[in-house]
Amino acid sequence: MKITVGKGSCGIAAGADAVFDLLSEKAPCPVTVTGCVGACYLEPIVNVDTGGAVRTYVKVDENGALEIVKLLAGEENSAGDYAMKPEDGENGQRIALRNCGLINPENIDDYMERDGYKAAEKCARSLSPPQVIQEIKISGRCGRGGAGFPTWFKWQAARDSEGDKKYVICNADEGDPGAFMDRAILEGDPHAVIEGMIIAAYAIGADEGIVYVRAEYPLAIVRLEKALEQSREKGFLGENAFGGGDLPEAARRFDIRIKEGAGAFVCGEETALIASLEGERGMPRLKPPFPAQKGYRKKPSNINNVETYANIPWIIRNGGEAFAAIGTEKSKGTKVFALTGKIAKGGLAEVPMGCTVGDVVYKNGGGVKDGKELKAVQLGGPSGGCIPKRLTDTEIDYGSLAATGAIMGSGGMVVMDETTCMVDMARFFLDFTCKESCGKCTHCRIGNRRMLEILERICRGEGKEGDIELLTELGGEIKAGSLCALGQTAPNPVLTTIRYFRNEYEEHIVDKKCAARQCKPLLTFSIDGEKCAGCTLCAKKCPYGAIDGAVKSAHAIDAEKCVKCGSCADVCKFGAVNTK
């Protein structure tokens, strides 16, 4: 019998540490940890393996942990109240996430029991480097960092480049704060990434690997460090890796180190990442030369992201054709999405390419929470496009998403309901990319700032005729004139919301109204006398004394004093505060 507690960052944030400590103290069997299984909305998650079956308990607090202890002791309990319901079951096709939530990420033996490092051994014993690259080519695996560039082509380019030293780099910076799959994989299955990097290094002839991970993810770093040390102890990394033998010299001494980055969004771009690795400010440079020819320290370098490397061992073990059989003719395999926003089941969902956006929202995400209507979905991170509900039958592949104005990007998927103001949402995302711009390109540095100022004006009720056309013109110029993908995609939220929700911009500018009631400067606050119970709470909380009324009498708002902060609406327990 064994108990496993989910202790990824999401589980810990939900209280998994206290649950783990209590179970470790009182449970009559071993208690171990695992990473995030993807169902973040159900954390903390506890699995009880009785030897014949595994029972899953969700949203377990300390009381729930005590009920599980009673269950194991044969005492009367209510642990069933915490049992996972059938409708909460995870669906999808897991390749990158195949071990997350199932193994102890701090124990290499758990990984090896699930065929871990067999793919690397297969390469070392029976496949030549060209054969490895050919297998990746057959798989049709493209980069999952956003650009969708064929993985095999990057590997081949690095292999063909002349150099006395070559590097394999993992981009684990995860610039999109909403797309947390990189962190989840490193926390839940770090050995999959290490094994993928070993295979890539063997294929291109690299003897050094670097994982560039943002310092804000300390748990991922700790578990990755432990995994690297265990890999060295088992002989998969370092001097005489895999027993040496007939392996190329680089493969016999390949090792990996960690570089903690500062978490800059722009460092998701590979040349900016390289600059940061070299101790410079993270700023992109012109290509060519590409990193495969002249990358880190001017040496041939291959850069892939976490999800790509995590896929590689599966592809080598199962064959490129098995991976290619998943997805569509143009987009092979699976993609991990981070579901957030107004979604019922927030977390990670790994789905086959070719399924629709609606499939992910409704089948994996459980639809919009609180029974509200879906309004839009934003894909691709802060610089992704927003598509309306009517386009959620769009297939998830690079070409189909690009046609809508959205991008695959880092896999962030933000769900919005009818309470979302699309103008304010565009302002929110553009504010983020403005702050994250490295400032190198004038178009990005100044153009996006001017767009943000216009949006802020519109949300304050100060929009004017011609603003929509000016935003459209500026957005096109910024996309055309920026050096890297940050600037080239930053206007996407604005351009797509204008494309699909132009009426909301016109309402803000012409009618000075926000239909979603999110832009407070455009709202008028009043109190419904029939609903008001005269509790005086709103008057006490109003910072400007704009509300008058006696106890147990209907209150009223002085429009001249009201600054539209919304404090009254936030505290009213009777729904008496109206906005229009």
Q: Name which residue leads in pLDDT, 2 or 241.
A: 2
CATH code where residue 534 lies = 3.30.70.20
pLDDT band for position 129 (cuts 50, 70, 90): very high
Q: Is 160 helix (H, G, I), strand (E, B) or coil?
A: helix
The answer to whether residue 22 scores a pLDDT higher than 80 is yes
The answer to whether residue 37 scores a pLDDT higher than 90 is yes
Structural domain count of the chain? 5
Task: Identify the burial level of 289 via C-beta atoms within 10 angstroms of its C-beta, where 0-12 means exposed, 13-18 middle and 19 or more buried.
Answer: middle
Same domain, 405 and 543: no
pLDDT band for position 447 (cuts 50, 70, 90): very high
CATH code where residue 505 lies = 1.20.1440.230
Q: Is the peptide bond before 105 cis (omega within 30 degrees of 0)?
A: no
The answer to whether residue 432 scores a pLDDT higher than 60 is yes
Same domain, 196 and 303: yes
Same domain, 51 and 187: no
- Note whether residue 97 is domain-resident: no
Residue 361 to residues 130, 136, 499, Cα–Cα distance (Å): 40, 30, 22
User: Looking at 417, 449, 478, which one is the last position of a domain?
Assistant: 417
d(CA 281, CA 271): 11
pLDDT band for position 218 (cuts 50, 70, 90): very high
Same domain, 412 and 430: no
pLDDT digits (tens, 9 = 90+) for 247-267: 777 778 899 999 998 778 888
pLDDT score for 268: 84
- Note whether residue 519 is domain-resident: no
Instruction: Give pTM, 2 decimals.
Output: 0.92
- Note whether residue 9 is domain-resident: yes
Share the mean pLDDT of the chain: 92
Task: Identify the burial level of 381 via C-beta atoms within 10 angstroms of its C-beta, where 0-12 means exposed, 13-18 middle and 19 or more buried.
Answer: buried
Q: Report yes or no: 508 and 541 within 8 Å, Cβ to Cβ.
A: no
Residues counted in the chain: 580
- Note whether residue 261 is domain-resident: yes
The answer to whether residue 243 scores a pLDDT higher than 80 is no
pLDDT score for 175: 57
Same domain, 157 and 208: yes
CATH code where residue 363 lies = 3.10.20.600
The answer to whether residue 161 scores a pLDDT higher than 60 is yes
Same domain, 228 and 177: yes
Same domain, 180 and 290: yes
Task: Identify the burial level of 369 via C-beta atoms within 10 angstroms of its C-beta, where 0-12 means exposed, 13-18 middle and 19 or more buried.
Answer: middle
Q: What percent of the chain has pLDDT over 70?
A: 97
Same domain, 544 and 497: no
pLDDT band for position 202 (cuts 50, 70, 90): very high
Q: Are strands 556-557 and 547-548 parallel, antiparallel or unpaired?
A: antiparallel
pLDDT band for position 467 (cuts 50, 70, 90): very high
pLDDT digits (tens, 9 = 90+) for 110-128: 999 999 999 999 999 899 9
Same domain, 120 and 203: yes
CATH code where residue 202 lies = 3.40.50.11540
Q: Are strands 2-6 and 31-34 parallel, antiparallel or unpaired?
A: parallel
> Following CA atoms 493, 499, 500, 506 in sequence, which dihedral angle do they give, to the nearest 10 degrees?
100
User: Looking at 511, 532, 562, which one is the last position of a domain?
Assistant: 511
Same domain, 66 and 170: no
The answer to whether residue 23 scores a pLDDT higher than 90 is yes
pLDDT digits (tens, 9 = 90+) for 511-556: 999 999 899 899 889 999 999 999 999 999 999 999 999 999 999 9
pLDDT score for 253: 87
pLDDT band for position 502 (cuts 50, 70, 90): very high
Which of 40-44, 212-216, 395-399, 484-488 has the largest mean confidence? Answer: 40-44
- Note whether residue 516 is domain-resident: no
pLDDT band for position 174 (cuts 50, 70, 90): low
pLDDT digits (tens, 9 = 90+) for 377-402: 999 888 899 999 999 999 998 889 98
pLDDT digits (tens, 9 = 90+) for 86-106: 877 656 689 999 999 999 999
The answer to whether residue 431 scores a pLDDT higher than 70 is yes
pLDDT score for 430: 96
- Note whether residue 101 is domain-resident: no
Question: Structural domain of residue 373, as residue ranges?
Answer: 334-417
CATH code where residue 74 lies = 3.40.30.10
- Note whether residue 96 is domain-resident: no
User: What average pLDDT does the segment 424-433 reach?
Assistant: 96
The answer to whether residue 339 scores a pLDDT higher than 70 is yes
The answer to whether residue 355 scores a pLDDT higher than 90 is yes
Ranking 224-238, 287-301, 326-340, 446-460 by mean pLDDT, the lowest is 326-340
pLDDT score for 492: 96
pLDDT score for 91: 60
- Note whether residue 77 is domain-resident: yes
Same domain, 129 and 274: yes
What is the DSSP secondary-structure string of 416-436? Answer: EETT--HHHHHHHHHHHHHHH
User: What average pLDDT does the segment 444-471 reach?
Assistant: 96
Q: What percent of the chain has pLDDT over 90?
A: 81
User: Looking at 36, 58, 88, which one is the last position of a domain?
Assistant: 88
Same domain, 460 and 567: no
Residue 174 to residues 301, 336, 492, 504, Cα–Cα distance (Å): 19, 13, 19, 32
